[in-house]
Structure 1
Amino acid sequence: MQFPQPVFDANTSGGKDLGKLPEWDLSDLYPATDSPELARDMAWLEKECADFAASYEGKLATLDADGLLEAVQRYEQIDVIAGRIMSFAGLRYYQCTTDSDRAKFMSDCQDKMTTATTPLVFYGLEFNRLDDDHLADLLGANTDLARYKPVFDRMRAMKPHQLSDELEKFLHDQSTVGAAAWNRLFDETMAALEFNVDGEVLSLEATLNLLTEQDRATREAATHALTAVFRENIKIFARVHNTLAKEKEIEDRWRKMPTPQTGRHLANHVEAEVVEALRNAVVAAYPRLSHRYYALKAKWLGLDRMQVWDRNAPLPMESTKIVNWDEATATVMDAYAGFDPKMAEIAKPFFSEGWIDAAVKPGKAPGAFAHPTVTPVHPYVMLNYLGKPRDVMTLAHELGHGVHQVLAAEQGELLSSTPLTLAETASVFGEMLTFQKLLDGAKTKEERKILLAGKVEDMINTVVRQIAFYDFECKLHAARAEGELTPDDINALWMSVQAESLGPVFDFADGYETFWAYIPHFVHSPFYVYAYAFGDGLVNALYAVYAEGDPDFREKYFDMLRAGGSKHHKELLAPFGLDASDPKFWDKGLSMIEGFIDELEALED
């Protein structure tokens, strides 16, 4: 059973320049950790899992269509309650990962959940043993059951890779002391790190934020502070990566997965050749995109050579003005409403009902996420809002996820979950709407240049950087299969993708080789990162269709979001005349980034 991925949280009020920042109200999940509602649901879950096994284990093949539908719907309700409990525990924990009470509560919930759901392990295994023709007959006999076919297809894609019932139960039982435990060690270690920048002690998020400061000396000092702390802890992070990669290799070998990436492709319901076409298109475009852009940026910064702390530097003419929360909210909501008032209406409760947690605080996990929780409740968005223009784009991005999750919830728990490759669609589209709104309002050539440069940098970070990350992961898992990796081994793999992706204008300061250590996706979700590039390329192609004036675009777009995980990417994109399995599809998306760089070069004249 898959529990919703926990999201990371923040704090209630910002600095004096940011205004009052919103915080989560988790009472829509449960009022408190000792609430009767939570105790009731936990007791129900334990009983229902046992009853479910008693009703169906060894009997799935004997059920008629109505009987199988009842089994699926009972399983779906178990999924809802289990997801609700773990969402509550996870969200509380990520609000302050250094709080031992929160950590204990989440760990205890996870243990109880694992024990309670062990009787369900038979379900997927037995379902996959159903004869294909028999299942087809059942689906043909009941339209309500046939609705779940996409869920069944994804389950049965794992059929060649499933183990014996006994082994599957063993893996289920030991999961809390396997990857989940190493994930938690990583999160707690990262949240507790402190970085001394010119005498000021900062969290990871606040230190990374300094890399976007106007002052070059500040950016350099932040880089050295990051390097010093990563080096001190590099053995821990190397141990986490070695263990998780080896655990994955063992399980993949037992499951007869042909490559380390296969499990992710199956989960994403995307073909390996589509991902390979995306990867190859982006790598081939490095010289036309990142290499060309960073050469331009070096000129703007007055530098012959760029250092790693210059990569995300603002342009010299860029304003250092902080964007307060109210202004950020208005900017994003206006952009959403400009596309369609319905989109702004869906987004509104995020701001008014305690669905966003925005500020930075000690112990809080870094990053920004949108967590769907469960379909009867609503998503929660987490930000680390510091008032930079990029933070406004992050709000637009995460809010896009939230809107998508609200719409997809109409499908019900089992069909709402969107594969990662399509999960980035609404978020990147929301960013693009916000960017175009700001670009249309640019009053001067300089303002337009700053906006274009910011967007190109975001796209390079989303496409080029993430594909470089994907290549790093591919190399890491291949190398780990040959034996234990030292920190220096992992550092070398990291550096092998950096110069290729960023280009010849960069020098790499001593210590940058450790910067793989803080990226959570490598730990939590191996090979997740290509989904960002997939989403960006897909949205660029989608936005081109929108810009061309398709009169039915909005209706088709909302239908796509509502579909959740009920349709394959081919079926979802067909109404727009797009096909992600066509290698030329990715070139369309990349040409939009290239066009922005062309315009930036033209603005130099």
Structure 2
Amino acid sequence: MKNMLSGTAINFSASSAASATDAALGDLPTWKLQDLYPSATSTAFTGDMEKAGRQAIAFEEKWKGKLADAATKEGAEGIGQALKEYEALDEIIGRLGSFAGLTYFSDTSNPVNGKLYGDAQAKITEFSSHLLFFALELNRIDDAIIDACMAHDPDAGHYRPWLIDLRKDKPYQLEDKLEQLFLEKSMTSAAAFNRLFDETMAELRFDVDGEKLPLEVTLNMLQEKDPEVRRKGAMALAKTFKENLRVFTLITNTLAKDKDISDRWRNFEDIADSRHLANRVERDVVDALAAAVKQAYPRLSHRYYKMKAKWLGMDQMNFWDRNAPLPETSNAVIPWNEARDTVLSAYSNFAPEMAAIAKRFFDEQWIDAPVRPGKAPGAFAHPTVPSAHPYVLVNYLGKPRDVMTLAHELGHGVHQVLAGAQGALMCQTPLTLAETASVFGEMLTFRALLDNTKDKRERKAMLAQKVEDMINTVVRQIAFYEFERKVHTARKAGELTSDDIGELWLSVQSESLGPAIKISEGYETYWAYIPHFIHSPFYVYAYAFGDCLVNSLYAVYQKADSGFQEKYFELLKAGGTKHHSELLKPFGLDATDPSFWSKGLSMIEGLIDELEALDKSA
């Protein structure tokens, strides 16, 4: 996620790749950040930092207060020229921030990385303060003048999607001095508490039988076959989260209040409206999605977990059994090379061009795969800038879910490569559609594996895992969204205690998981480790949006005679130049149609039906 990383920090040595070898997993790759800069102390990095500073000041001196006049001109004095210069600066700053961010997330516990993170963020904020006027001043120009400018100036016309998109921010735009204050204060408010969360989480260790484990390894215990191992992992997580709740509660309260202040000054009506605006999606579309998913809880998660409890020989599962493997699931660790070949083969069967792009991530060291102390947990794909290439971070432990995560993040990577041709200003896809390629990549990989599986027991295990992944992507993420809504709403009335937040967490979890899962002591702390609540409030609905959208998209693909791949690639190449309604129209899909979400959810229900049929025939 680019907005999690921009302005971040330092240098990760490729020599540590040799130490990241495990007998079962094989050689796990680490990324080669030298494609961005040789190091944080290189003349290339320091030179670009100085260059960006000089050019930001020069840009402000050249264009500030003159854009209205420039809108009536063409060529070197026109808005189109200003946009080209602005985009070139955005490219340099984006490259600096990407290098700093990716190296910081390679090891957030390294104090040298932390310093670079802070220094780079401060510099980028300083540069941005000189560029802030540009969007604000453009939005003060009459729409008719800008429309005429785009029509007569080819350079300005090129940026039409960006300029039209910019207008949507107009109602929430503040006076210039206030905007500058908000920007500069972000360093000591939201950005500071984001960093506190990341570094605190990276330092946490979870005691399991005397062994101090990092977060990813401990979370992975919840997918082990042995119920006692799952219980120990769950209790270790709960204990350490509880010991650190004071910090996480402070972070949550501070960021919720910070957002409330910003929303109030900008006159956003709803607590999630700023996210909807950033995603370029209408509030009623998201409301319809959330309502459809909540209405489907009994048919999806409640029903599935009841079936799973029976398969595990339980009347009711403990909360740590939610992602437990079925008895039919193989214990074998999936080597890295096998995971790579599985994903590339699935991509190739859909479109060789897609596999060719994904293969570059492996061949050219664009992936960081090993689990290690200090490394950021989870997984992400960061687009960097169009003049470079994306990078993928995973924490690979050889589980089937890790293969699906790899397929997911490579989907993002392919999307980012294809959208890069739109340039730095227009390549970024709104988050709602940014999950399309990733979830589609997962689906391709799953379907390829399922088609090659003839054994009923193996097929049941695979179907069950896919259903769980889809429930985690759709049901769980909408429950997260509802939790955030409750937290941010309650925060308006005053500061929340850890117990207050825990109660809100349990209320949405019990509703979404259903009666087949026993929510016992300890689970009330599990809200604390979810990074999306910290880095990107209300981001989580994008996963459910993407999954339901892809379910509908995949159904179109299954019925299509020809031409689907070409239309799909056009969707990805569009980046941020088109609204979701325009991108989905060639496939006959419309997210504003109330029945759209029901169609997407019906695919999950169909997989549960297939599981039930397999169970009865066994």
**TM-score of the two chains, using structure 1 as the length reference:** 0.98
* Residue in 2 that maps onto 1:316: 327
Whichever residue aligns with residue 512 of structure 1, its letter is Y
| 1:41 to 2:48 alignment | yes
Cα offsets for 1:580-599 (capped at 9, x unmatched)? 11111111110000000000
Q: Which of 172, 178, 198 lines up with 1:187 in the alignment?
A: 198
Q: Note the aligned Cα RMSD (angstroms).
A: 1.3
User: 1:277 and 1:28 mapped to 2: Cα distance?
Assistant: 43
Q: CA deviation at 1:203?
A: 0.2
User: 1:321 and 1:175 mapped to 2: Cα distance?
Assistant: 47
* Residue in 1 that maps onto 2:5: 5
| Matches for 1:465-544 after TM superposition, within 5 Å | 465-544=476-555
Whichever residue aligns with residue 225 of structure 1, its letter is A
* Residue in 2 that maps onto 1:578: 589
User: 1:40 and 1:194 mapped to 2: Cα distance?
Assistant: 39
Q: Is the 8 A contact 1:3 1:82 kept in 2?
A: no
Cα offsets for 1:57-76 (capped at 9, x unmatched)? 11100012441000011110
| Matches for 1:397-436 after TM superposition, within 5 Å | 397-436=408-447
User: 1:27 and 1:206 mapped to 2: Cα distance?
Assistant: 28
User: 2:163 and 2:285 mapped to 1: Cα distance?
Assistant: 22
Q: Identify if the C-alpha distance between structure 1 residues 209 and 520 changes in structure 2 by more than 3 Å, giving closer, same or farther.
A: same
> Structure 1: which 5+ runs fail to align?
none
* Residue in 1 that maps onto 2:611: 600
Q: Is the 8 A contact 1:30 1:38 kept in 2?
A: yes
* Residue in 1 that maps onto 2:33: 26
| 1:378 to 2:389 alignment | yes
Whichever residue aligns with residue 358 of structure 1, its letter is A
Q: CA deviation at 1:144?
A: 3.5
Q: Which of 62, 73, 80 lines up with 1:55 in the alignment?
A: 62
| 1:156 to 2:163 alignment | no
| 1:241 to 2:252 alignment | yes
Cα offsets for 1:281-330 (capped at 9, x unmatched)? 10000000001100100010000011101100000121110000000001
Count the aligned residue pairs.
604
User: 1:595 and 1:173 mapped to 2: Cα distance?
Assistant: 51
User: 1:74 and 1:84 mapped to 2: Cα distance?
Assistant: 16
Whichever residue aligns with residue 33 of structure 1, its letter is A
Q: 285-294 or 7-16, which moves further after superposition?
A: 7-16
* Residue in 2 that maps onto 1:207: 218
| Matches for 1:118-517 after TM superposition, within 5 Å | 118-517=129-528
Q: Identify if the C-alpha distance between structure 1 residues 477 and 205 changes in structure 2 by more than 3 Å, giving closer, same or farther.
A: same
Q: CA deviation at 1:86?
A: 0.7
Q: Which of 549, 559, 567 lines up with 1:548 in the alignment?
A: 559
Cα offsets for 1:474-526 (capped at 9, x unmatched)? 00000001100000000011011011101111111201001000000000000
Q: Is the 8 A contact 2:450 2:462 kept in 1?
A: yes
Q: CA deviation at 1:145?
A: 1.8
Whichever residue aligns with residue 365 of structure 1, its letter is A
Q: Which of 74, 79, 82 lines up with 1:71 in the alignment?
A: 82
Q: CA deviation at 1:120?
A: 1.2
Q: Is the 8 A contact 1:288 1:594 kept in 2?
A: yes
**TM-score of the two chains, using structure 2 as the length reference:** 0.96
Q: Is the 8 A contact 1:4 1:372 kept in 2?
A: no
User: 2:34 and 2:285 mapped to 1: Cα distance?
Assistant: 42
User: 1:380 and 1:306 mapped to 2: Cα distance?
Assistant: 38
User: 1:151 and 1:4 mapped to 2: Cα distance?
Assistant: 22
Q: Is the 8 A contact 2:305 2:516 kept in 1?
A: yes
* Residue in 2 that maps onto 1:83: 94
Q: 394-403 or 120-129, which moves further after superposition?
A: 120-129
Cα offsets for 1:251-304 (capped at 9, x unmatched)? 110111111101100000000000001001100000000011001000100000
Q: Is the 8 A contact 1:4 1:83 kept in 2?
A: no
The percent of aligned pairs where both chains have the same amino acid is 58
Structure with the greater relative contact order (CA < 8 A, sep ≥ 6): 1 or 2?
Answer: 1
Whichever residue aligns with residue 23 of structure 1, its letter is T
User: 2:560 and 2:236 mapped to 1: Cα distance?
Assistant: 49
Q: Is the 8 A contact 2:80 2:154 kept in 1?
A: no
Q: CA deviation at 1:4?
A: 7.0
Q: CA deviation at 1:443?
A: 2.0
Q: Is the 8 A contact 2:109 2:203 kept in 1?
A: yes
Q: Is the 8 A contact 2:328 2:460 kept in 1?
A: no
Cα offsets for 1:70-91 (capped at 9, x unmatched)? 0011110111000100111111
SS of 1:196's partner is strand
User: 1:426 and 1:418 mapped to 2: Cα distance?
Assistant: 11
User: 1:317 and 1:3 mapped to 2: Cα distance?
Assistant: 40
Q: CA deviation at 1:3?
A: 6.3
Q: Identify if the C-alpha distance between structure 1 residues 150 and 487 changes in structure 2 by more than 3 Å, giving closer, same or farther.
A: same
Q: 496-505 or 517-526, which moves further after superposition?
A: 496-505
Q: Is the 8 A contact 2:371 2:395 kept in 1?
A: yes
SS of 1:566's partner is coil
SS of 2:425's partner is helix
Whichever residue aligns with residue 25 of structure 1, its letter is K
User: 2:236 and 2:5 mapped to 1: Cα distance?
Assistant: 31
Q: Which of 15, 20, 41 lines up with 2:22 in the alignment?
A: 15
> Structure 2: which 5+ runs fail to align?
none
Q: Is the 8 A contact 1:154 1:267 kept in 2?
A: no
Q: 211-220 or 14-23, which moves further after superposition?
A: 14-23
SS of 1:361's partner is coil
Whichever residue aligns with residue 55 of structure 2, its letter is E
User: 2:84 and 2:21 mapped to 1: Cα distance?
Assistant: 44
Q: CA deviation at 1:34?
A: 1.1
User: 1:232 and 1:360 mapped to 2: Cα distance?
Assistant: 24
Whichever residue aligns with residue 149 of structure 2, its letter is L
Whichever residue aligns with residue 185 of structure 1, its letter is L
